[in-house]
């Protein structure tokens, strides 16, 4: 038997390497969503925990590049269309919709007979401001787990929007001040309200203005938006005012007519989080997959392995184990929940 030599089985995905500062794709010599400047970065979407400034070259969707330019100034960008197939080094690369925010993409990598999907952040429910998540069966699925606990089940967006409008109409002397993350959530809320026939002016905090304009330039109609700062108290009665979450309790909001404080976030499922921000009307609206969407997506894609990012990995890794799917945790730095 001494003529037999032991040849180790190559590990799945041995050609991509997760580092704390991002995922390195060796045969393409590119980084995905790196948290520090690199010679060549592929970027899934414009949220600050994925898109940083300072790369020598960036490949992303045109919408994501526009968002990065809005935030960081001119980029050495190479726009890529959804579904377009590119060869980078020895790797076939394509970007497909992730359904998270405008321009968000999953990055599909093919090399050595293996397909790896880096999903970035994603959700499965409809969003009038972006293309829907496209499932791509793969060998390794790299998933987020922002809401990776069974307690996180986001309700229907429609029911949350109805609660917001009921509260608004029941209080014509007050305004409803909604805290919403500046990229994605704010524009989605506006578009959802428009879809429900709410054609009144919506007043926005100055910090939301540039990104709302960018969405409109990219073809997402948001209707009549007005700056909240220049509006009188009387003008704001019976109106919806949007601001970034950080402005909910600051001096800025004191000039509003007795605001009903609301916040739109997946975290509003947790009462304590709502109380911390003095939120009277918590709206559970998230741009991330909830527990059911995470597990449904993994079932659907049937990957051989799941690699998990973004915080609450343990429960999802345990779930994968119960379903005979190999899973591991990736400790990427700086992936935060600011874009909830
Ligand atoms: Zn994100
Ligand atoms: Zn993220």
Q: Give me ligand 1 centre to Cα 308, in Å.
A: 15
Q: Do 120 and 98 touch, CB atoms closer than 8 A? A: yes
Q: Give me ligand 2 centre to Cα 145, in Å.
A: 9
Q: Give me ligand 1 centre to Cα 281, in Å.
A: 24
**Which residue from 234, 150, 223, 232 is spatially nearest to 191, judged by alpha carbons?**
223
Cα 174 to Cα 89, 223, 246, distances in angstroms: 59, 22, 21
Q: Give me ligand 2 centre to Cα 183, in Å.
A: 12
Encode pLDDT of 214-238 as tens digits: 999 999 999 999 999 999 999 999 9
Which bound ligand lies closest to the C-alpha atom of 100? 1
pLDDT number for residue 96: 98
**Which residue from 149, 83, 90, 160 is spatially nearest to 125, judged by alpha carbons?**
160
pLDDT at residue 131 tops 70: yes
Structural element, H or E, at residue 118:
strand 114-118
Q: Give me ligand 1 centre to Cα 234, in Å.
A: 36
Q: Give me ligand 2 centre to Cα 238, in Å.
A: 34
Q: Give me ligand 2 centre to Cα 33, in Å.
A: 10
Q: How confident is the model at residue 7 (pLDDT cuts 50, 70, 90)?
A: low
Encode pLDDT of 271-315 as tens digits: 999 998 899 999 999 999 999 999 999 999 999 999 998 778 899
**Which residue from 262, 258, 265 is spatially nearest to 278, judged by alpha carbons?**
262
| Beta-carbon neighbours within 5 Å of ion ligand 2 | 49, 121
Which bound ligand lies closest to the C-alpha atom of 144? 2
pLDDT number for residue 312: 80
H helix count then E strand count, the chain: 7, 19
Token pair of 190 as six digits:
């506006």
pLDDT number for residue 332: 76
CA 317, 20, 72 angle in degrees (round to 5)? 115
Between 142 and 6, the more confident residue is 142
């Amino acid at each position: 038997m001494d003529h037999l030599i032991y040849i180790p089985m190559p590990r799945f995905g041995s050609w991509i390497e997760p580092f704390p500062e991002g995922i390195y794709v060796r045969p393409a010599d590119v980084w995905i969503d790196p948290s520090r400047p690199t010679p060549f970065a592929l970027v899934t979407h414009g949220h600050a925990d994925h898109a940083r400034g300072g790369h020598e070259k960036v490949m992303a969707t045109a919408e994501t590049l526009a968002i990065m330019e809005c935030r960081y100034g001119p980029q050495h960008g190479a726009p890529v269309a959804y579904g377009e197939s590119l060869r980078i080094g020895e790797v076939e690369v394509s970007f497909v919709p992730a359904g998270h925010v405008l321009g968000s993409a999953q990055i599909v990598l093919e090399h050595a007979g293996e397909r790896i999907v880096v999903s970035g952040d994603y959700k499965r429910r409809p969003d009038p401001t972006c293309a829907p998540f496209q499932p791509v069966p793969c060998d390794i699925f790299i998933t987020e787990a922002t809401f990776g606990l069974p307690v996180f089940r986001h309700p229907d967006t429609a029911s949350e929007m109805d609660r917001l409008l009921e509260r608004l109409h029941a209080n014509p002397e007050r305004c409803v001040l909604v805290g919403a993350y500046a990229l994605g959530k704010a524009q989605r809320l506006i578009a959802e309200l428009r879809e429900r026939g709410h054609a009144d002016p919506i007043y926005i905090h100055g910090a939301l203005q540039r990104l709302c304009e960018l969405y409109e330039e990219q073809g997402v109609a948001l209707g009549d938006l007005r700056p909240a700062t220049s509006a009188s108290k009387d003008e704001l009665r019976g109106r919806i005012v949007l601001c970034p979450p950080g402005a909910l309790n600051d001096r800025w909001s004191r000039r509003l007519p007795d605001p009903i404080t609301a916040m739109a976030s997946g975290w509003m499922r947790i009462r304590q989080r709502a109380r911390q921000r003095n939120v009277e009307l918590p709206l559970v609206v998230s741009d991330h997959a909830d527990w059911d969407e995470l597990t449904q997506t993994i079932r659907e894609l049937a990957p051989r392995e799941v690699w998990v990012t973004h915080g609450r990995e343990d429960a999802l890794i345990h779930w994968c184990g119960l379903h005979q799917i190999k899973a591991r945790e990736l400790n990427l730095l700086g992936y935060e929940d600011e874009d909830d």
